[in-house]
A = this chain, B = another copy of it.
Amino acid sequence: MMPQEEARKLDRFIQLLLANATVFVSGEKLAEALKVSRMTICNWVHHLQKQEMVIEIKPKIGYRLTQVPDLLLPQLIRRELRTKVLGKSLYHYFQVESTNDVAHQLAQQGVAEGGLIVAEEQTQGRGRLGRDWYSERRVGIYLSLILRPILKPRHATIINLAAAVAVSQAIESTCSLSTDIKWPNDVLVNNKKCSGILTEMSADLDQIKYMIVGIGINVNHQSFPKSLQGRASSLFLEGGRRFSRIEIILALLRCFEDLYLELQKQGNDAILERWIRRSSFARGKEVSVDLGDKKIHGTTIGLGKEGTLRVKLSGGQIEDIMSGDVVIWDSVK
């Protein structure tokens, strides 16, 4: 078999196992249905077992997927995706250095708008401002989306805000937890960071060639390294129970797609409004901002039309803060 054909058949094989989860299916029938040898089926089973799918083998009877695995398999995501663009091509990895890096490679190879990369684990997960993103295996959501919006680079911030709104909305609807958004794109639960977004782009000064929106969500983490304690948390820790990563991803993709399509049709306003509605940081928050060449103190009064954070200084002057400026919050009211 050609590698591509084999990948297609393996994909179909996983679908069959999932469709027949918890019952035995004979190797002979599987081989017949997929037009492969029984040896190939046997090899595939060992391959999937190594990747932590629990498949029982009963000689002369067949194979049984004992439970639907808690993995972000494309076959599981695709079943209930219901999006037009996002996730239409889907790449699943058990371990990558960084889903954003994989997404860059795929984007450069021409993968179309909406390409979705998900990983069970990142060994070099990246966050904003050169920080790491803690990416423990199989408990978090580590995904990247390839977008090709017809926007100028200066409009990239709004996509970033849209992603934060989508994460916030997905967490609230699937986990029944209240969220807050810290400008620009951290999603907090009980004032602790449960999600971060790293938006990257390849652009000239006139237009964006492609954007990568990388999203990390701490879902079922039971603990964090000491350095993150007090600041980071997970939906499990805040909600007191485990949540389905796939359900959150599905809600996230649907919500982000709605916002993304709306943005391209109707401009920034709807996203700005929703962001403001979902964030306690948008208005009346006392902040101290390090702009590099100067520090300012003031009170937030909303967002600028490109997604900047508007801060009214004590003298009455208004400053628009762009993403990328280091923001230190004096008081978290």
Verify B206–A323 contact, CB threshold 8 A.
Answer: yes
User: A residues 186-227 with Cβ under 8 Å of B?
Assistant: 198-207, 209
A204 surroundings in chain B (CB, below 8 A): 128, 198-201
Q: Is A16 an interface residue (CB 8 A)?
A: no
Contact flags (1/0) for A101-140 with B, using CB distance below 8 Å?
0000000000000000000000000001100000000000
Of B128, B156, B160, B203, which is within 8 A of A200 by CB? Answer: B203
Copies of this chain in its oligomeric complex: 2
A160 surroundings in chain B (CB, below 8 A): 205
Verify B156–A205 contact, CB threshold 8 A.
Answer: yes
A129 surroundings in chain B (CB, below 8 A): 206-207
Contact flags (1/0) for A167-195 with B, using CB distance below 8 Å?
00000000000000000100000000000
Q: Is A153 an interface residue (CB 8 A)?
A: yes
User: A residues 266-290 with Cβ under 8 Å of B?
Assistant: none
Q: How far is the CA of A141 from the CA of B100 in the complex (A)?
A: 35
A322 surroundings in chain B (CB, below 8 A): 152, 154
Q: How far is the CA of A206 from the CA of B202 in the complex (A)?
A: 13
Q: Is A22 an interface residue (CB 8 A)?
A: no
List the B residue with the shortest CB-CB distance to A128: B206
Q: Is A66 an interface residue (CB 8 A)?
A: no
Contact flags (1/0) for A141-161 with B, using CB distance below 8 Å?
000000000001110110010
Q: Is A324 an interface residue (CB 8 A)?
A: yes
Q: How far is the CA of A152 from the CA of B323 in the complex (A)?
A: 9
Q: How far is the CA of A159 from the CA of B207 in the complex (A)?
A: 16
Verify B154–A205 contact, CB threshold 8 A.
Answer: no
Q: How far is the CA of A207 from the CA of B156 in the complex (A)?
A: 13
Binding site for B on A (CB under 8 A): 128-129, 152-154, 156-157, 160, 184, 198-207, 209, 322-324
Considering the complex of A and B, which 6 residue pairs feature the smallest CB-CB distances, nearest first? Answer: A206-B324, A205-B323, A200-B204, A152-B324, A202-B202, A199-B205
